[in-house]
C-alpha cells in the first residue's frame, strides 16, 4: 500500500492570473505580475512616503495585486449580494476557488466522498476590509462626530445624529450577516457548508508557511484514514497597507520595487495577494477511481528554529531539520531531486540562510533552484500553495520554468562550491537515471516555522491532459480561446494540439495508449446545450482503438456542460466562429444563451456602492424578532385597520423585504425558489425578514413557531403562514 498522496485537482487566482492555467502561462512566459497599486488599493496612496522617514508610512507601493480579479458572483453560489458587502473578501474567493478546484478534479455538483472530505485552509488573521468596516462603524464615525461637535458647538443633537447616520449610510454594512464574515475560521466552514463537505474543516496559521503546514495536516489525515479526500488551500487577500507598514518597519521591503532572489542586487521583498486550492486523495484510491493526477506528494516535514538570532529571521538548523524530516517521511534521498522551489524572499539574510541549508542537504547533486515570488510578490500564507501549484504543474509538464530576476546569483553564496544553480530560462526536466521526476518545495514562516515538501511526477497512465493552443488572430481572442478550451476535459488526452486560423480551428488529441482523435460537436437541442463527442477517423498509422477502450473513455468530463455556459458568454465579445469551430460545431449568435446582467461578479476591494442599510425592526423580546418563547410575532393589517390582507399583498411585501435585506433585484425573486439553496437565506435571515414583515403591517393576528419557519423552503410556503 502506497503512502503517497495524489494531487488530483487545483485552482487559484493570483496577480494577473485569473486561474491556475493563466498562472502557469505567466510563469512560462516570464511575465512580471508585480505592479503599482490598482485603484482598488486606495489605502496604499494614503500612507506612501518614499523617504520612509515616518513609522506610519510605507516607502514602496509596488506589489502583486489582484485588483479587478478580486470579484465574486454571489448568485452563482447561492449567496445574498448584501452578505458580500462589508465582509472579508477572502471568504468569498475561497468558496469560488474551492468549487473550481473540485471542477478541475472532474467532479460535478455532487462531490464524491463529501461526507469524508476535509477542508484545511492556511490563512492569517490580518487586517482586511471587513475589519476596517467594523472599525469605521464602531469607532471612527463616533470620533469624527465628536470632533465636529467640538469644532461646531452650535450644532444640535439632532444635527449630530443626522450627520452620524449620513456617515454610516455611505459605509459598507455592518450587521448580523456581515459580522459572520469577520470570524477567521469561517473561511473553511463556509466552503464545507456550501459544498456539503462533512470532514474536518479548520484553518491553520503558521505565518508564511501556513498553506504548507495545512498540507502536512491533510497528508497525515489521509494516511491515518481520518478522511478520504481533502481540499487544502492558502489565502492572502487583505487591505494591503497595514501589512505593508509592518514590513516597512522591519526594513525588508524592496526599495527598487523588484524581488531578486539569491542575487547580489536583492534589497528586499514585495507583498502580493492570492489564493489557491488543491484536491488530494490517497494515491491508491486515486488510481482505483481513475482520477487524473498532476503530481504526488511523497513527504512533508516541519520544524521550528528554536533559539535563533531573531524571531523573524530563519535559522539554518531549523530549515535543515524540516528537510531531513521530509525525506524521512518520503523515504527517498535528496540527490534524486531535480528542482527545488525555494521560499526565495529576496532578502540578503533570508536567502543566505536558505541557500546554506540547501547546500548542506542538496549540495552534492545537480539541482535547479527557483522561486515564483519575483513574479507574484510574497503571498504570505498563500505563498506555499502558489509554490505547490507551480511545482505540480512543472512536474506535470516536465518543464523547469525560469525564475525572474535570476541573472546575477550572489557570489557570496558560494554557488561554485555546490551543484545548485538558478536558471533564468525555462528548460526541459532532465531525469536522473531511471528515477521518476522529483521536486522539493521549501517554506519559511515568521516565528521560526520551517516546512519542506517532497513531490514526484504522477504515474504515467494517470497524468492530466495538457492543452496547448496556437492562434493567429488577435491577442484577446487567443487568450480567450486558450482559456475556454482548457475547460474541456479530454480526459485521457496527454497532448491536445489546437491550430487556429481566422474563422476556423482544428483540434486533434494525441494519446499514449492508443492514439485517437475526437471531434467535438456542440449542438443545441430543445433549448439546452448538449455535447455529442464523435470519434473521428484515425490518422494514418494510428493504432485502432478497441470498442472496449472507446466505451471506457469519456472524452468530455462532466465539467463540460458548466464550461459550455461560460464559453458561450465569452463569445459575446470575441470572434464567435473561431471559438465554436474549435469545438467542431457552428452556433449562430442568435442561439447564444441570454446573459443575465444581474449575475455580474461583485468587486471585492472597491468600497462598494450599496443600498442604504435598512433599519431593523424594533425588538419585541428575545433575539429582537422573537417574543422569547420560540415564536415570531407577525402582525397583519391591510392598512385600513381591518386586520385582513390578501396573499397577493403578502407576496409583494415579502418580495420587497427580501430584496431590501439581501440585495437581490425584486424581479429576480420568485416565490418558488429555494430560500437557502437558490437565495442563500438561512434561518437567521428568515427571522430577520419576518421581523421586517411584522414592522410593516399592523396588529398581531398570528404567532409563527420558529421551527415551522425554519422548515419552510420557499417564499410561497412562508406566504401561506402569514396570509
Q: Distance between CA atoms of 275 and 389, rounded to whole angstroms?
A: 11
Asked whether 87 and 61 are in contact (CB, 8 A), the reply is no
Query: What is the CB neighbour count within 10 angstroms for residue 240?
Result: 28
Asked whether 462 and 287 are in contact (CB, 8 A), the reply is yes
Binned average pLDDT, 10 residues per bin, the chain of 723 residues:
96 96 93 89 78 84 90 82 80 94 91 96 80 76 87 90 85 75 87 96 96 98 98 88 85 94 94 96 96 97 89 92 98 97 96 96 92 97 98 95 92 87 90 92 95 96 51 44 41 31 35 28 29 29 31 34 39 34 34 37 44 27 35 40 64 88 86 86 82 69 66 86 74
The whole-angstrom distance between residue 11's C-alpha and the CA centroid of its chain comes to 7
Q: Distance between CA atoms of 723 and 713, rounded to whole angstroms?
A: 17
Query: pTM of this prediction?
Result: 0.75
Q: Is 688 helix (H, G, I), strand (E, B) or coil?
A: helix
Tell me, what's the pLDDT at 349? 94
Selection from 76, 94, 124 nearest residue 192 by Cα: 94
Longest pairwise C-alpha distance within the chain = 94
Tell me, what's the pLDDT at 282? 98
Residues 6+ apart with CB under 8 A from 573: none
Tell me, what's the pLDDT at 376? 97
Task: Domain ranges for the chain, please list them.
Answer: 11-125+184-461, 130-178, 465-595, 631-722
398 phi and psi angles, rounded to 5 deg:
65, 35
Ramachandran category for residue 53: left, alpha or beta (phi over 0 → left; psi -120 to 50 → alpha): alpha
Selection from 116, 451, 429 nearest residue 299 by Cα: 451
Selection from 391, 427, 378 nearest residue 261 by Cα: 378
- Location of C-alpha cell 493570483: 14
Q: Distance between CA atoms of 94 and 100, rounded to whole angstroms?
A: 10
Q: Which three cell numbers stand for residue 114?
A: 463529501
Query: What is the CB neighbour count within 10 angstroms for residue 674?
Result: 12
Tell me, what's the pLDDT at 601? 60
Residues 6+ apart with CB under 8 A from 711: none
Tell me, what's the pLDDT at 216? 99
Q: Which CATH superfamily is domain 11-125+184-461 in?
A: Thiolase/Chalcone synthase (3.40.47.10)
Q: Does domain 631-722 have CATH number 1.10.1200.10?
A: yes
E strand residue ranges, 332-413: 339-341, 367-370, 399-400
- 140-to-57, 87, 146, 174 alpha-carbon distances in Å: 20, 18, 10, 14
Query: What is the CB neighbour count within 10 angstroms for residue 451?
Result: 30
Start-to-end C-alpha separation, the chain = 63
Tell me, what's the pLDDT at 692? 80
Selection from 401, 375, 396, 400 nearest residue 386 by Cα: 375
Beta bridge mates, 632: 626, 704
Tell me, what's the pLDDT at 420? 94
Amino acid at each position: 500500500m502506497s503512502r503517497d498522496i495524489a494531487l488530483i485537482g487545483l485552482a487559484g487566482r493570483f496577480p494577473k492570473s485569473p486561474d491556475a492555467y493563466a498562472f502557469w502561462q505567466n510563469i512560462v512566459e516570464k511575465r512580471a505580475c508585480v505592479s503599482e497599486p490598482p485603484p482598488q488599493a486606495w489605502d496604499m496612496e494614503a500612507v506612501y512616503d518614499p523617504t520612509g522617514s515616518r513609522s506610519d508610512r510605507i516607502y514602496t507601493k509596488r506589489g502583486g495585486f489582484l485588483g479587478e480579479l478580486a470579484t465574486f458572483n454571489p448568485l452563482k453560489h447561492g449567496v445574498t449580494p448584501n452578505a458580500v458587502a462589508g465582509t472579508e473578501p477572502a471568504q468569498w474567493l475561497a468558496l469560488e476557488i474551492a468549487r473550481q478546484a473540485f471542477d478541475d478534479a472532474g467532479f460535478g455538483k455532487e462531490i464524491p466522498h463529501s461526507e469524508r472530505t476535509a477542508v484545511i485552509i492556511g490563512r492569517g488573521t490580518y487586517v482586511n476590509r471587513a475589519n476596517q468596516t467594523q472599525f469605521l462603524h464602531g469607532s471612527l464615525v463616533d470620533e469624527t462626530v465628536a470632533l465636529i461637535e467640538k469644532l461646531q458647538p452650535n450644532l444640535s443633537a439632532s444635527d449630530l445624529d443626522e450627520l452620524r447616520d449620513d456617515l454610516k449610510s455611505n459605509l459598507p454594512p455592518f450587521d448580523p450577516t456581515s459580522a459572520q464574515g469577520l470570524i477567521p475560521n469561517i473561511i473553511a466552514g463556509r466552503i464545507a457548508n456550501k459544498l456539503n463537505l462533512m470532514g474536518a474543516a479548520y484553518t491553520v496559521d503558521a505565518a508564511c508557511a501556513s498553506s504548507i503546514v495545512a498540507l502536512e495536516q491533510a497528508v497525515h489525515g489521509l494516511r491515518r484514514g481520518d478522511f478520504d479526500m481533502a481540499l487544502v488551500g492558502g489565502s492572502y487577500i487583505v487591505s494591503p497597507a497595514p501589512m505593508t507598514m509592518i514590513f516597512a518597519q522591519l526594513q525588508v521591503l524592496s526599495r527598487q520595487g523588484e524581488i531578486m532572489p539569491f542575487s547580489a542586487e536583492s534589497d528586499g521583498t514585495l507583498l502580493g495577494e492570492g489564493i489557491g486550492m488543491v484536491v488530494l486523495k490517497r494515491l491508491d484510491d486515486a488510481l482505483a477511481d481513475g482520477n487524473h493526477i498532476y503530481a504526488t506528494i511523497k513527504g512533508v516535514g516541519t520544524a521550528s528554529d528554536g533559539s535563533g538570532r531573531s524571531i523573524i529571521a530563519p535559522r539554518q538548523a531549523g530549515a535543515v531539520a524540516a528537510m531531513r524530516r521530509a525525506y524521512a517521511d518520503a523515504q527517498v534521498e535528496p540527490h534524486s531531486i531535480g528542482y527545488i522551489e525555494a521560499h526565495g524572499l529576496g532578502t540578503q539574510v533570508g536567502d543566505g540562510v536558505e541557500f546554506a541549508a540547501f547546500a548542506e542537504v542538496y549540495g552534492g547533486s545537480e539541482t535547479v533552484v527557483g522561486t515564483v515570488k519575483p513574479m507574484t510578490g510574497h503571498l504570505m500564507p498563500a505563498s506555499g500553495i502558489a509554490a505547490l501549484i507551480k511545482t505540480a504543474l512543472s512536474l506535470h509538464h516536465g518543464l523547469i520554468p525560469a525564475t525572474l530576476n535570476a541573472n546575477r546569483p550572489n557570489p557570496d553564496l558560494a554557488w561554485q562550491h555546490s551543484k545548485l544553480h538558478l536558471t533564468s530560462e525555462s528548460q526541459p526536466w532532465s531525469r536522473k537515471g531511471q528515477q521518476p521526476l522529483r521536486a522539493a518545495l521549501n517554506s519559511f514562516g515568521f516565528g521560526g516555522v520551517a516546512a519542506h515538501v517532497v513531490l514526484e511526477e504522477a504515474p504515467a497512465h494517470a497524468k492530466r491532459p495538457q492543452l496547448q493552443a496556437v492562434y493567429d488572430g488577435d491577442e484577446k481572442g487567443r487568450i480567450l480561446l486558450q482559456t475556454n478550451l482548457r475547460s474541456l476535459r479530454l480526459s485521457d488526452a496527454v497532448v491536445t494540439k489546437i491550430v487556429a486560423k481566422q474563422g476556423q480551428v482544428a483540434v486533434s488529441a494525441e494519446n499514449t495508449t492508443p492514439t485517437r482523435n475526437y471531434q467535438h460537436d456542440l449542438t443545441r437541442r430543445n433549448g439546452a446545450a448538449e455535447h455529442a463527442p464523435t470519434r473521428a477517423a484515425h490518422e494514418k498509422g494510428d493504432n485502432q482503438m478497441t470498442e472496449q477502450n472507446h466505451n471506457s473513455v469519456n472524452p468530455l468530463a462532466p465539467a463540460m456542460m458548466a464550461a459550455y455556459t461560460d464559453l458561450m458568454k465569452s463569445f459575446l465579445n470575441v470572434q464567435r466562429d473561431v471559438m465554436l469551430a474549435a469545438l467542431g460545431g457552428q452556433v449562430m449568435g442568435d442561439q447564444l444563451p441570454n446573459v443575465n446582467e444581474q449575475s455580474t461578479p461583485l468587486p471585492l476591494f472597491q468600497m462598494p456602492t450599496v443600498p442604504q442599510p435598512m433599519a431593523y425592526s424594533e425588538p419585541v423580546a428575545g433575539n429582537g424578532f422573537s417574543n422569547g418563547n420560540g415564536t415570531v410575532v407577525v402582525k397583519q393589517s391591510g392598512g385600513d385597520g381591518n386586520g385582513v390582507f390578501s396573499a397577493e399583498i403578502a407576496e409583494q411585501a415579502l418580495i420587497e423585504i427580501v430584496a431590501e435585506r439581501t440585495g437581490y433585484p425584486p424581479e429576480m425573486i420568485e416565490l418558488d425558489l429555494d430560500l437557502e439553496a437558490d437565495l442563500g437565506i438561512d434561518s437567521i435571515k428568515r427571522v430577520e425578514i419576518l421581523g421586517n414583515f411584522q414592522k410593516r403591517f399592523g396588529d398581531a393576528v398570528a404567532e409563527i413557531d420558529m421551527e415551522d419557519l425554519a422548515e419552510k423552503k420557499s417564499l410561497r410556503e412562508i406566504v401561506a403562514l402569514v396570509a
